[in-house]
Amino acid sequence: MLAGSPENFGATLAGASETSDDGWRKRLRTLPAWVALEAEGSLTLDSALGTATYCPPDSDGPYPMLISMYVRPAARGRGVGEVLIEAVVDHARAQGHVRLVLDVRESNIAGRRLYARAGFRAADASLGVPEDGCEVRMSRELRADVDLP
Please state the pTM of the whole predicted model. Answer: 0.79
pLDDT band at 85 (very low <50, low <70, confident <90, very high): very high
Tens-digit pLDDT profile for residues 38-51: 877 655 666 789 99
90-105 burial string, b = 16+ CB within 10 Å, else e? ebbeeeebbbbbbbbb
* Range in 1-15, 55-69, 89-103, 130-144 the model is least confident about: 1-15
One-letter amino acid of 93: R
Name the phi and psi angles at 65, rounded to 5: -125, 145
Mean pLDDT of 99-125: 93
Q: How confident is the model at residue 125, as a pLDDT?
A: 78
Q: How confident is the model at residue 141, as a pLDDT?
A: 94
> Is it the case that residue 65 has pLDDT exceeding 50?
yes
> Is it the case that residue 101 has pLDDT exceeding 60?
yes
